[in-house]
């Protein structure tokens, strides 16, 4: 475990460093508060710190305040070392952001015990952060495919459409549906069907840019939001994604399962200002047209002459 120690007295710093290294810590030693604050505020800085109260340029409590104001995650456990032992000093140290307070001279075993307590607190904090992130992930992602779930992809779509209107940009929406997926489930079983969905999700993600969005819209349907993609590039991008799905069968338990997908496409600039519900209705109609055209193809939603009259 990394630990930072700060003390302007050379001998105290040297002895403390030797004690902690024997205890198995990876020690960074500095002799002033400015250096201590700079190192502790780094994203990859040590998460344990022992700070002498009295130091040049920046004292221990000031370092605590600096760290608390600039680095909230991951948490840094800070212990102040001082010869002051009045209640007022203890309160002042803790209110500056310190987690513990050790009065000099202290026994090495007491120091090690307090650091072990600090480690337990950090481990608990890490567990809570991990649990929070897991809950957040589960609330925003589809459990089978790990894509964005329907609620989040709809929210992202709405946000991107608003941004495109505000910035006079263009967003392309793809609604895809796996062809003959019911037949896969009926003849090969739902376990194979689930593996197909997971592999298709992986291929979809690999086919888009890092700033595009892919979500599971429902069942075997997928919604893709391509940012800054206009009419000229929409069909080409859709065909590239379609081919990424269809060109190679999915391997499940040494068995090859052919898969293909149909896409409806809508380019926001062609339609002007439409609510999300209308956008989805139009792109769904384009998807239906792709199915009617024989599947494994892409169809672009085109506004009628009457609809074009309402474009800005």
Hey, which residues are catalytic here? Answer: 220
Cis peptide before 286 (omega within 30 of 0): no
d(CA 267, CA 297): 17
Q: Are 40 and 71 in contact, with CB atoms under 8 Å apart?
A: yes
DSSP conformation letters of 165-190: HHHT--EEEEEEEETTHHHHHHHH-H
Please name which of 117, 38, 124 lies closest in space to residue 74, comparing C-alpha atoms: 124
b/e for 95-130, b at 16 or more Cβ within 10 A? ebbbbbbbeeeeeeeebbebbeebeeebeeeeeeee
Please name which of 255, 248, 241 lies closest in space to residue 193, comparing C-alpha atoms: 255
Q: Look at the alpha carbons of 290, 293, 297, 302 in this order and tell me if their dihedral is positive or negative.
A: negative
Q: Are strands 171-178 and 221-227 parallel, antiparallel or unpaired?
A: antiparallel
Please name which of 295, 307, 129, 160 lies closest in space to residue 225, comparing C-alpha atoms: 160
């Amino acid at each position: 475990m990394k630990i930072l120690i700060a003390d302007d007295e050379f001998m105290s710093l040297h002895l403390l460093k030797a004690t902690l290294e024997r205890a198995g810590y990876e020690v960074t030693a500095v002799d002033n508060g400015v250096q201590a604050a700079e190192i502790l505020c780094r994203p990859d800085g040590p998460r344990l710190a022992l700070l002498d109260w009295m130091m040049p340029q920046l004292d221990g409590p000031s370092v605590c305040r600096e760290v608390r104001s600039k680095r909230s995650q991951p948490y840094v456990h800070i212990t102040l070392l001082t010869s002051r032992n009045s209640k007022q000093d203890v309160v002042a140290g803790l209110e500056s952001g310190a987690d513990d307070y050790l009065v000099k001279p202290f026994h090495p075993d007491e120091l090690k015990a307090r650091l072990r307590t600090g480690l337990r607190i950090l481990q608990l904090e890490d567990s809570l952060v991990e649990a929070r992130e897991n809950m957040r992930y589960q609330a925003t992602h589809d459990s089978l495919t790990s894509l964005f779930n329907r609620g989040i992809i709809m929210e992202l779509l709405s946000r991107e459409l608003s941004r495109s209107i505000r910035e006079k940009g263009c967003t392309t929406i793809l609604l895809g549906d796996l062809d003959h997926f019911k037949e896969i489930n009926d003849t090969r079983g739902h376990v194979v069907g689930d593996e197909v969905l997971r592999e298709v999700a992986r291929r979809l993600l690999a086919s888009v840019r890092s700033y595009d969005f892919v979500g599971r819209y429902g069942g075997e349907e997928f919604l893709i939001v391509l940012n800054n993609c206009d009419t000229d590039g929409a069909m080409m991008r859709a065909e590239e994604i379609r081919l990424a799905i269809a060109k190679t069968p999915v391997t499940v338990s040494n068995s090859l399962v052919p898969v293909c997908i149909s896409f409806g496409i809508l380019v926001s600039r062609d339609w002007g200002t439409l609510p999300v519900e209308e956008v989805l209705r139009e792109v769904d109609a384009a998807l239906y047209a792709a199915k009617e055209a024989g599947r494994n193809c892409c169809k672009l939603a085109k506004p009628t002459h009457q609809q074009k009259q309402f474009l800005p």
